[in-house]
Amino acid sequence: MPDVVVIGSGVVGAACAYYAARAGLTVTVVDRGPVAGGTTGAGEGNILVSDKGPGAELDLATLSARLWRDLAAEVAGGAERPFGDLVEYEPKGGLVVAETPGILNALTGLADRQRVHGVTAVAVPPEDLRAYEPHLAGGLAGGVHYPQDAQVQPMLAAAHLIRLSGARTRTGAEVTGLLRGAGGRVTGVRTARGDIPAGAVVNAAGTWAGEIAAFAGLTLPVLPRRGFILVTEPVPPLIRHKVYTAAYVAGVASDDAGLETSAVVEGTKAGTVLIGASRERVGFDRTVSLPVLARLAAQATALFPRLADVRVIRTYCGFRPYCPDHLPVIGADRRTPGLFHACGHEGAGIGLAPATGRLIAAAIGGAEPPVDPAPFLPGRFAA
Amino acid sequence: MRPYDLAVVGAGPAGLACAVAAGRAGLRVVLVDGGPRLGGQYYRHAPPSYRATRPGVLHHGWRTFAALAAALPALDVDVRLRHRVWAAETAPDGLRLHCLAGDREETPVTFPAARLVVATGAHDRVLPFPGWDLPGVLTAGGAQALLKGELVLAGRKVVVAGTGPFLLPVAAGLAAAGARVRGVFEAGRTAGLAAHPGILLAHPGKLAEAAGYGLTLAAHRVPYRGRHAVVAAHGNTALTSVTVAKVDAGWGPIPGTERMVPCDTLAVGYGFTPQLELALQLGCATRTDADGGHIVAVDARQATDVPGVYAAGESTGVGGAPLALVEGRIAGLAAAGRPAPARLLRLRARLREFARALHAAYPVRDGWRGWLRDDTVVCRCEEVPYARLREALALGAADARSVKLLARPGMGPCQGRMCGYAVGRLAGSPEGLGHRPIAQPIRLADLARFEGDPT
Amino acid sequence: MNPLELVGASPEPPFEIVFAGTPVPAYPGQSIAAALQGAGIRAWRTTRVRARPRGLFCGIGVCFDCVVVVNGSATLRACLTEARPGDEVEPA
Ligand SMILES: Cc1cc2nc3c(=O)[nH]c(=O)nc-3n(C[C@H](O)[C@H](O)[C@H](O)COP(=O)(O)OP(=O)(O)OC[C@H]3O[C@@H](n4cnc5c(N)ncnc54)[C@H](O)[C@@H]3O)c2cc1C
Ligand SMILES: Cc1cc2nc3c(=O)[nH]c(=O)nc-3n(C[C@H](O)[C@H](O)[C@H](O)COP(=O)(O)OP(=O)(O)OC[C@H]3O[C@@H](n4cnc5c(N)ncnc54)[C@H](O)[C@@H]3O)c2cc1C
Ligand code: FES
């Protein structure tokens, strides 16, 4: 019997498995699909500190960014290459640009407050923007450079974290219920391919985590927030950083159910350019929306006019797992002993995964948490 | 723009027959095709400026095509060639086809229509093997298209290989047009259909067609070998030879039977993959065909499960031009609310039976995996070697999509059209990589125009 | 025998296009890929990762192996793009 069974092989479940194993626990990961086939397979892989205002999530993000950097440098498990190479870790840095002096004011104000929390933020006057990004549009009011922002290939990251954890992996096994013991304690999972008893169960089912909680009679308000990404044909290197407009910061934190978009543009090692980001609450509807794609295209070409003649070759969408208060749910569910949640990371699950894994490993093993876990505890939803 | 009664995508045998039938039934039709001329793959022919006096020698049933093409001008059919459809969508007031007009201009144009027929045909189905990315290696259909459509020989010394009866017209056409065909290597059995004598007798036309190719090949002394496959292609910057090996019933190469065949060109094909992206965009249900491929599911009227959307030809199952013609006519009539004559339905049933027999006679066996080496490129666009695919499977990928996300096959410009079948087979998932919400590349500036009012 | 004789074709006279600085004849209506192929040019692009030569593969616009730059306009499929007099074709 494993010490821990993790439901979900996305990047969050993978990080939980990895840090639990590092803490000496034996782990099994179950997923109804293949490894990392959920939202992780639709994410862009940015590890961002830049888009978070001061508060609990920023503390989690700065810790996580550091953990990713440390992980990237490790050469583990007899590998020939460092982990960072395997998962295409790129400490490329972020550049946030402001269209108007008013927006720039808000942006630099945010940067000032972020600095207090350990974020490196370098103000970039308009005349210097092209030294960072030669192909940026003219007429921008200025920007802020965030050297801590980085990127990984999220699926590779999840898959390699699971491999390094040494966890047993059961793909194609849907969890259909929770095993319960004395006092209602969760003692494992029921899957379509048999029961898996375990000392503790981690619910890392992403956007579907509410369904797992419901198996224990609990409500966990994790809901889908759809996002589309455009992918271009491969082009010679054009864009160096993750570049986005300051409007993105407002969109991330917004409560609006309607469509919000902001230009988020970056190049990849494969030569393609990734263009986001849209946010809408439309349930799990995968129908492609041309107006959304069009808006993403318009915003990207406004930011980088050189992209106008570059062709889009594909698009995909995913469903960010969000909670009403826009904070992830991490930690023991005091309502049900044996059950831990690690979900609801919205548009930041890749970035926040390692810190989440550390928190979960500490919670299960009774160790000292790396950051204050209180703001993330599931108890906040208890009626 | 005033909506058309019917939009037909694809002007191959299926789409042409459909547009003519619907036009004759009084519908106002728009017939859209990305290519420069009518005819699709089967009736591909040279531009009129070539002034061919015998345009039909490379085609069976050229007269059928000529009659259909001649019927169009008198009908209310708006023929839009060089229009690539990049997206099809259902809107509250009907359906919309979003196109890029002009082979290099790519001007966005949208056609609204009450009903739609997907007749997008198929492309060659290919399997990877060492050296298949060398210049000089091309698809069997590609060699055929170059000959029929451009009157250019793919090469001088040609090897034809793969599986299925399509290899015969390709080899015969090349030989008749002056190429030296060094051999036709069929990985299955040459007498594949001999196991179904009843089927052959029921289709004397097919038998005669095959016999015709056989005569051409014999006249040019072209050997036709069953249970032989090209397992590697060689050359430094271009093809100079191929390794041909005898294969067992499972297509595993038999050691010691390899031999080098010098050639400058290899035309290779392992059947066809239907082009489903537009049907999938519209949300049409699919099903698995007799050959394991994914096809649009249609009812007796060629209607899909999406109201107003029909499909005909290879997109509903690979079955050749005669079947595509019949299905196209039935779809055109159905779109006009007309019943199809019983004779047509019987013909369709017989041709489908023939197609099923062909699929059964020429399956793709798993032994081709044994042709792969660690460094064999599986995905041509992203140049993903076989070793990377195996790593992805070892990391927990369990279907084509997760292999793609972990190792990148299918992420390049062709969007998995070339490697999707092989990746699906290697990952054990039949659906491959067919979902393409953007069917043709589109400039960001052109996509941006769809903001606000898209038409 | 050649393909033109086979179908009894008498094409209109060819015009010139330029591939990487070299003049190449093209018949009216011919695709750029066919013109290059007809002139014995079988590779006109180098791949991004392994720097391997590529030319025609599928012949019908689905494989994107044949892409070229025409008069500065990038990534056109040579097999789908009709040659026009004076076209300057470069490897993509
Ligand atoms: C378009 C887009 C762009 C994004 N970009 C970024 C970015 O740049 N940076 C960033 O940090 N984040 C980004 N995100 C967000 C990020 O992708 C998610 O926060 C993150 O992937 C969530 O990971 P997860 O492991 O919680 O969920 P998932 O990856 O969804 O994993 C959950 C797993 O649980 C499995 N599962 C569910 N139910 C069951 C069950 N009953 N039984 C068994 N298994 C089950 C699923 O199959 C799935 O594999 C983006 C998201 C989108 C949509
Ligand atoms: C390259 C090739 C060559 C072939 N040659 C022969 C042959 O010589 N003999 C033989 O018996 N069989 C041949 N075949 C088999 C062929 O599939 C059938 O014979 C027959 O042509 C199928 O008819 P169809 O109408 O279903 O489709 P097709 O003839 O394939 O017609 C489909 C049409 O749809 C168009 N189309 C597809 N997608 C779009 C889009 N998004 N936008 C706009 N237009 C689109 C295509 O341009 C094409 O003209 C060939 C197949 C291929 C792929
Ligand atoms: S040869 Fe395949 S796209 Fe031109």
Percent of chain A with pLDDT over 70: 97
In a domain, C17, yes or no: yes
**A285 in contact with C, Cβ within 8 Å:** no
Confidence tier at B376 by pLDDT (50, 70, 90): very high
Query: Quick one: which ligand is closest to A8's CA?
Result: 1
How far, rounded to the nearest angstrom, does the alpha carbon of residue A368 sit from its chain's CA centroid?
Answer: 24
Tokens read off for A292:
């959304």
Query: What phi, psi does B206 have (nearest 5°)?
Result: -65, -40
Question: What six digits make up the tokens of A296?
Answer: 């993403």
Residue C50 lies in a domain: yes
- The model's pLDDT over B213-263, given as tens digits with 9 standing for 90+, comes to 888 999 999 999 999 999 999 999 999 999 999 999 999 999 999 999 999
Given a cut of 70, is residue B177 above it in pLDDT? yes
Pocket of ligand 2 (CB under 6 A): B 9-15, 32-35, 40-42, 84-85, 119-124, 141-142, 144-145, 166, 169, 272, 275, 278, 313-314, 320-321, 324, 439-440; C 59-60
Nearest chain B residue to A173 by CA distance is B398
Question: What CA–CA distance (Å, rounded) separates B248 from B227?
Answer: 7
Output phi, psi for B416, to 5 deg: 80, 10
Do strands C45-46 and C53-54 pair parallel, antiparallel, or not at all (unpaired)? Answer: antiparallel
Residues of chain C neighbouring A234 (CB-CB closer than 8 A): 48
Would residue C83 count as lying in a domain?
A: yes
Burial A185-204 (b: 16+ CB within 10 A, else e): ebbbbbbeeeebebbbbbbb
**Residue C51 belongs to domain with CATH number:** 3.10.20.440
Q: Which residue of C52, C60, C64, C84 to mutate against B (max B Cβ within 10 Å)? A: C60
Question: What SS3 state is found at A241?
Answer: coil
A239: helix, strand or coil: coil
Q: Residue B60: CB partners within 8 Å, gap ≥ 6?
A: B209, B321
The token duo for A164 is: 């390094």
Task: Indicate the pLDDT class of residue B194, thresholds 50, 70 and 90.
Answer: low
* Number of structural domains in chain C: 1
Structure confidence at residue B452 (pLDDT): 60
Give the CA dihedral A218, A220, A221, A226, nearest 10 degrees.
Answer: -130
Which of A320, A330, A359, when mutated, tests ligand 1's pocket best, judged by the most ligand atoms within 8 Å of its CB?
A: A320
Is residue A253 predicted with pLDDT exceeding 80? no
Ligand of minimum distance to the alpha carbon of B440: 2
- Phi, psi (deg, nearest 5) at residue B101: -95, 135
Average model confidence (pLDDT) for chain A?
A: 94
Distance of alpha carbon B406 from alpha carbon A255, whole angstroms: 33
C70 neighbourhood in chain B, CB within 8 Å: 104
Cβ pairs bridging A and C (under 8 Å): 6
Task: Say whether residue C51 is in contact with chain A using an 8 A CB cutoff.
Answer: no
CA distance A150 to A132: 15
Residue A153 CB coordination number (10 Å): 24
Residue B139 predicted with pLDDT over 60: yes
CA distance B300 to chain C (A): 30
| E-assigned strand segments in A215-338 | 223-232, 242-245, 260-267, 273-279, 311-322, 329-332
**H/E segment holding residue B443:** strand B442-443
Check residue A95 and report its DSSP letter: E
pLDDT value of residue A382: 74
| Confidence at residue B455, expressed as pLDDT on a 0 to 100 scale | 45
Q: What is the pLDDT confidence band of residue B454, given thresholds at 50, 70 and 90?
A: very low
Of residues A383 and A362, more confidently modeled:
A362
Tokens for A381, please give them: 């939803």
Output the pLDDT for position B191. Answer: 76
C4 within some domain: no
Q: Is residue C7 part of a domain?
A: no
Q: Rounding to the nearest 10 degrees, give the CA dihedral for residues A283, A286, A287, A288.
A: 120
**Position B302 pLDDT exceeds 60:** yes
Indicate the average pLDDT of chain C: 95
- The whole-number average pLDDT for the span B118-130 is 98
Burial class (CB in 10 A: 0-12, 13-18, 19+), B103: buried
Q: Which of B281, B283, B438 sits opposite A313 (nearest CB)?
A: B438
* pLDDT tens readout for residues C44-63: 999 999 999 999 999 999 99
- In terms of residue numbers, what domain contains C27? 13-91
DSSP B380-396: TTTTEEHHHHHHHHHTT
- Most B CBs within 10 A among C24, C41, C63, hence the mutation to make, goes to C63
- Please name the residue whose Cα sits nearest to atom 49 of ligand 2: B40
Q: Looking at the predicted structure, is the pLDDT value of residue B193 above 70?
A: no
pLDDT tens per residue, range B21-36: 999 999 999 999 999 9
Nearest CA in chain C to A271: C48
Kindly report, residue by residue over A73-123, the tens digit of the pLDDT: 998 767 778 999 999 999 999 999 999 998 999 999 999 999 999 999 999
pLDDT at site A286? 87
Q: Which atom of ligand 2 is nearest to the CA of B170?
A: 8
Q: What is the mean pLDDT of residues A49-69?
A: 95
- What are the tens digits of pLDDT across the range A342-355? 999 999 999 999 99
pLDDT in tens, B32-90: 999 999 999 999 999 999 999 998 888 888 999 999 999 999 999 999 999 999 999 99
Neighbours of A237 (CB within 10 A): 9
B353-370 per-position pLDDT tens digit: 999 999 999 999 999 999
Which tens digit of pLDDT belongs to each residue from A291-316? 999 999 999 999 999 999 999 999 99
Tell whether A233 is within 8 A of chain C (Cβ).
yes
Degrees, nearest 5: CA angle C85-B50-B56: 145
CA B444/CA A301 separation, integer angstroms: 7
The answer to whether A234 contacts chain C (CB < 8 Å) is yes
pLDDT computed for residue B93 by the predictor: 86
DSSP B92-146: TTEEEEEEEESTTT-EEEEEEEEEEEE---EEE-----TTTTSTTEEEHHHHHHH
Q: Cβ–Cβ of C48/A309 closer than 8 Å?
A: no
Q: How high does pLDDT run on average in chain B?
A: 94
pLDDT of res. C88: 97
Q: What is the separation of C-alpha A374 from the centre of its chain, rounded to a whole number of angstroms?
A: 20
pLDDT at residue A97, rounded to an integer: 96
Domain-located, residue C60:
yes
- Which chain C residue lies closest to B375 (C-alpha atoms)? C50
Coil vs helix vs strand at B273 = strand
Q: Which of A29-33, A67-71, A300-304, B59-63 has the lowest mean pLDDT?
A: B59-63
User: Quick one: average pLDDT of C66-73?
Assistant: 95
